[in-house]
Amino acid sequence: MGRTRRRSRRRTLDARRARTAYLMLLPAIAFFVLFTYLPIGNLLTTSAHSGPRADEFTGLGNYTRAFTDPAVRHAFGITVLFAVATTVGALVLGLALALLLNRPLRGRVVFRALLLVPYLTSVAIVGLLWRNILDPELGVLNRLLAALDLPTQQWLITHPLATIIGVMLWQHTGYAMVLFLAGLQGIPEVYHEAATVDGAGPARRFRHVTLPLLAPTTLFVSIISVITGLQAFGQAYIITDGGPAAATDLYVFHVFNVAFEARDFGYSSALSFLLVVVILAFTVVQLRYGRRGEVRY
């Protein structure tokens, strides 16, 4: 008798606490429904329509159009190249700098800060600054080269994609470096000591101790970097305007123009959705292959 009463009291208490929980969650539920799930539903609906008001139903028409659109294929190709190149670059440079900073050097914190500074800047600053530096006629780099009697450059015209890859690396390498540094500091010293005792030199210790133990960090940095690279927009919008001759027509920049210049919301919605699918596919593949490289000692 007493026990059932206690149990029912407990039940009402649980119910009251559940109600409190729901009340406190209400703003969050409303937010994620209204600003994430509803927009994605709308995106899918819009992507099945065409016309200036996106009100003519075309089914999968926009998607089939995307697969045969040479401009989209070109934009997609250079964007994958951009994402892969910036990822490989950030992995190599970030790890190299982290290895240097992981040594007992004076001023490590200062160097870490200086190397991270570009990551704090807005893409607006990055874009305007590098457009100025690299400008063939008025840019400071060519004025400097001319003053030193060295040949001048026209990289924004001769190697536009490689140039914005470099600018992207300038901004994002510090982020990879900080993550690698944290990863390196998480490797217990005993593994290196044990390998040294077993007669492994620095190169073999790096190959067989450091790299395998860093695998989770490497995996994470490469996933984030690919995702960031596939979504790059400001570099094309600010520095190159997608040119010359669409050489830097990055995918999101292309979609932006289809939506807000051509005002084709149906087609641009389909293009947006396709990139999400690609991003998820990249992530799944990286997770699958990356996990293989992980070890536990």
Partner 1 sequence: MTRIGRVLAYVTLLAASAVTVLPLLYMVSLSLQTEAESLAGEPVLVPETPMWGNFVELFERAPFANFIVNSLVVTCGITLSHLLFDPLVGYVFAKFRFPFRDTLFVAVIATMAIPFFVKMIPLYVMMSNLGWLDTYQGLITPFLMDAFGIFLMRQFIQPIPDELIDAARVDGCSELGIYWRVVLPQVKPALAVLGVFTFVFQWNEFLWPLVATSTEGMRTIPVGLTLFSQEYFTIWNLTAAGAVLLFLPTALIFLASQRFFVRGITLTGMK
Of residues 83-112, which lie at the interface with partner 1 (CB under 8 A)? 97, 100-101, 103-105, 109, 111-112
- Residue of 85, 88, 116, 215 that binds partner 1 (CB under 8 A): 116
- 141: CB partners within 8 A, 6+ apart: 133, 134, 152, 153
Distance of CA 12 to the CA centre of its chain: 48
Number of CB atoms found within 10 A of residue 246's CB: 14
Q: Which among 55-63, 78-86, 251-259, 285-293 is the span making contact with partner 1, rule CB under 8 A?
A: 251-259
The CB-of-73 to partner 1 minimum distance in angstroms stands at: 19
The CB-of-22 to partner 1 minimum distance in angstroms stands at: 7
CA 214 to chain centroid? 20
> Does 284 participate in binding partner 1 (rule CB under 8 A)?
no
CB of 252 to partner 1, least distance (A): 5
- Residues 187 to 226: which contact partner 1 by CB under 8 A? 217, 220, 224
CB–CB of 178/112 below 8 Å?
yes
- The 8-class DSSP code of residue 151 comes to P
Residue 251 CA to residue 258 CA, distance in Å, equals 11
Among residues 6, 9, 20, 207, which is the contact residue for partner 1, using CB under 8 A?
20
Shortest Å, Cβ 246 to partner 1: 19
Residue 1 vs 263, nearer CB to partner 1: 263
CB of 240 within 8 A of CB of 160? yes
The region of 66-74, 117-125, 151-159, 204-212 touching partner 1 under the rule CB under 8 A is 117-125
Binding range to partner 1, per CB under 8 A, among 1-9, 62-70, 169-177, 191-199 = 169-177
Phi, psi of 49 (to 5 degrees): -125, 160
By the rule CB under 8 A, 289 interacts with partner 1: no
Range 140-159, binding partner 1 (CB under 8 A)? 140, 143-144, 147
Residues in 25-44 at the binding interface with partner 1, rule: CB under 8 A: 25, 27-29, 31-32, 35-40, 42-43
**Cβ contacts of 65 within 8 Å, gap of 6 or more:** 267, 270
Residue (81 or 259) nearer to partner 1, CB: 259
- Contact status: 281 vs partner 1 (CB under 8 A): no
Residue 287 interacts with partner 1 (CB under 8 A): yes or no:
no
- Shortest distance, CB of residue 1 to partner 1, whole angstroms? 26
Q: Is there binding between residue 57 and partner 1 (CB under 8 A)?
A: no
Angstrom distance (rounded) from CA 153 to CA 130: 13
CA atoms 247, 252, 257, 263: torsion sign: positive
Helix residue ranges, H only, the chain: 2-32, 38-47, 61-68, 70-101, 108-120, 123-134, 140-147, 155-158, 160-185, 189-197, 202-205, 211-230, 234, 251-260, 265-292
Task: Tell me how far, at minimum, the Cβ of 3 lies from partner 1, in Å.
Answer: 21
